[in-house]
A and B are shown apart, each in its own frame.
Chain A
């Protein structure tokens, strides 16, 4: 009965259609330089990414600074005009849609930023900021909006009286709650959370993480959760994608990724987490050599092999790896410089 399921490179064929599907996504920025300040080079911030997000699921996205996490997130919410590939939301390819056709999807896909101050106009009251999405989409009467604003504030754990105050009157954690209230105002289905707790103190961080988990259960939200704190990402994610220089190098269910990391970069990332246990619970720290490479003129072939401790010849480095599903749901870039005994998985 079942027709051959479409095999995507991002995971096993889903039982039901994923809410979001990203295929071959590329985001290349022109880089100006040289004497004439002409765009001469490309910054390949996202360079061929396949991923999907199921309904009600959190997909964690980790990787070093500059590897393209935020750019990927912005492509999903269409803040970036993509260079290539496809973003399909609920069965519709939204990459080709024009302004008006896109409008309903703008409602469905929201973004939360690291620093909510950036997205909250300091001259507007919280009430106005939260009413704005309804006004933009021509929803609700003024009176209904007031009621909705009070509801939203309550939902994120703030007093209704906050509506009359301005963003600067709130602490960082409270401002992040306001950012979340704004993101959930129009009942979205997917929220891209870009480092939503990175700027917060640990005690406030746990409040915001609890809130995100509660809202997800209540509203059946899906999240793409970007962060550099692996313990935080593991806490909130169902699956985790590890990104390196514009590409996904490993993808697995959260517990599986930590129990059985295969990519040398994932292993290094996990071993670099300072655990709050004196004396350390860590078996062996893996120190990577050198710095994160630049997405402008990325090294040819397998980018990570140049930083890996696994021995490879120059010739091997110049060959790209292949992204394979090695156990159900566990995908990894296979290359002599990325996975020990990689042949065993081919």
Chain B
């Protein structure tokens, strides 16, 4: 295997906890996945399943002192980011891996001109003059499709629409041509027509610059549109992962299946009863060691499993069921075979 076939990012058994008044709670519990070079990997799952905490752990941006990485590896081109000093990590951020947040205003400083904020990115990492940095900023704004960039560069964030602000944030994230971009719900706050523009822009820039993308969203439509690989998270763990094709067309975890079945489809019958996933995600403090989806599983053996010691003590591994398809190794949370062939 040549270097260019190697995944750009390998996350191995990442575990992250928070110290709260009620004690330590584990939000991400042994997550592993690979991001192929130049491709897009999507992370999907219900609110609170640990998508953002996974991203913040990779970026080493967890709130301090409450957020603690308990273990694991985050290998960016072979370098374990978790082993870097804060200073070294600061140099990696922006330059080799950068992040795009849901709400552009959290990434932008309201009192500084767009140009100053973009220039800072260049000035922090490169030995260039302020004038040069300003010009590079204009170039970057043009690249993300902002009309009249030489005027916009001198404006403040509030003078821009939400979609334009998100373009600026993307410009900042891509300014130093990082090899990996982590985008946490980059279009959730935007209208569908603006979302379409931003997703299109990300695809174009990826084709041009070749960066790899980790795209976090709860929107399965966005995942299908953008991603080559998909990680489905449930309650802090990976339930299933694989190519977008297998995840959408041959899901093997009951949770993935449940998610796909519960969305109304444009082609569906109006007012027909939608599938639902019964029950709720357990709270962080009451997570079992065993398969966490079991209490919501319709599998006939699920009640027996929940009553067994395995549910309390035995952590299921990920089982590889095809060259690029892994699913939680516990019978009662997997799609029952006969059902699939129907």
Contacts and interface: CB of A to CB of B under 8 A. Distances in A.
A278 B264 contact: no
Interface in A274-301: 274-280, 285, 287-288, 290-292
Interface hub of B196, B248, B249 (most chain A Cβ within 10 A) = B196
A201 B218 contact: yes
B194 A291 contact: yes
Interface in B256-281: 258-260, 262-266, 268, 270-271, 273-277, 280
Interface stretch (A41-49, A179-187, A224-232): A224-232
B274 A276 contact: no
Interface stretch (B117-125, B222-230, B313-321): B222-230
Given A210-B273, A228-B192, A275 B222 contact: no
A154 B249 CA distance: 37
A274 B270 contact: no
Nearest to B197: A287
A203 B262 contact: yes
A207 B220 CA distance: 17
Contact of A274 (B224, B268, B273): B224
Contacts of B223: 276
A276 B248 CA distance: 8
A81 interface: no
B248 A234 contact: no
Interface in B211-253: 218-225, 227, 244-245, 248-249
B258 A235 contact: no
A158 interface: no
B191 A274 contact: no
Contacts of B224: 274-280
Nearest to B283: A171
Given A64-B191, A205-B262, A206-B275, A237 B270 contact: yes
A162 interface: no
A228 B264 CA distance: 14
Given A171-B280, A203-B259, A228-B192, A234 B225 contact: no
Given A64-B193, A272-B196, 15 more contacts: A65-B191, A171-B280, A203-B258, A203-B259, A206-B276, A213-B271, A234-B264, A235-B268, A235-B270, A238-B270, A272-B193, A274-B224, A276-B223, A291-B163, A292-B161
A157 to B, nearest CB: 10
A278 B248 contact: yes
At the interface, is chain B mostly helix, strand, loop or mixed? helix
B164 interface: yes
Interface in A60-109: 64-65
A172 B46 CA distance: 12
A341 interface: no
Interface hub of B200, B223, B244, B264 (most chain A Cβ within 10 A) = B264
Nearest to A216: B271
A238 B270 CA distance: 8
Contacts of A202: 46, 218, 220, 259, 262-263
A230 B266 contact: yes
Interface residues of B, number: 46
Contacts of B196: 271-272, 274, 285, 287
Contacts of B192: 64, 228, 230, 269, 272-273
Interface hub of B193, B227, B266 (most chain A Cβ within 10 A) = B193
A258 interface: yes
Contacts of B164: 291
Given A228-B192, A277-B224, A236 B271 contact: yes
B306 interface: no
A279 B223 CA distance: 11
A287 B199 CA distance: 11
Nearest to B161: A291
24 contacts: A64-B191, A64-B192, A201-B46, A202-B46, A202-B218, A203-B46, A203-B259, A203-B277, A210-B276, A213-B271, A231-B266, A234-B266, A238-B270, A271-B196, A272-B195, A275-B221, A275-B224, A276-B221, A276-B263, A277-B224, A277-B248, A278-B244, A278-B249, A287-B196
10 closest A-B pairs by CB: A274-B221, A235-B264, A206-B274, A206-B262, A272-B196, A203-B277, A276-B220, A278-B244, A272-B192, A64-B191
B83 interface: no
Interface of A: 64-65, 171-172, 201-203, 205-207, 209-210, 213, 228, 230-232, 234-238, 254-255, 258, 268-269, 271-280, 285, 287-288, 290-292
Given A201-B47, A206-B274, A269-B193, A274 B259 contact: no
A296 to B, nearest CB: 13
A203 B293 CA distance: 13
Nearest to A282: B225
Nearest to A217: B271
A33 to B, nearest CB: 14
A231 B264 contact: yes
Contacts of B260: 276
B266 A258 contact: yes
A231 B265 contact: yes
Contact of B221 (A64, A255, A273): A273
Contact of B270 (A172, A234, A285, A287): A234
A201 B219 CA distance: 9
Interface hub of B161, B222, B244, B258 (most chain A Cβ within 10 A) = B161
A40 B225 CA distance: 45
B270 A255 contact: yes
B281 to A, nearest CB: 9
Given A210-B276, A230-B192, A275 B266 contact: yes
A292 B191 contact: yes
A235 B271 contact: yes
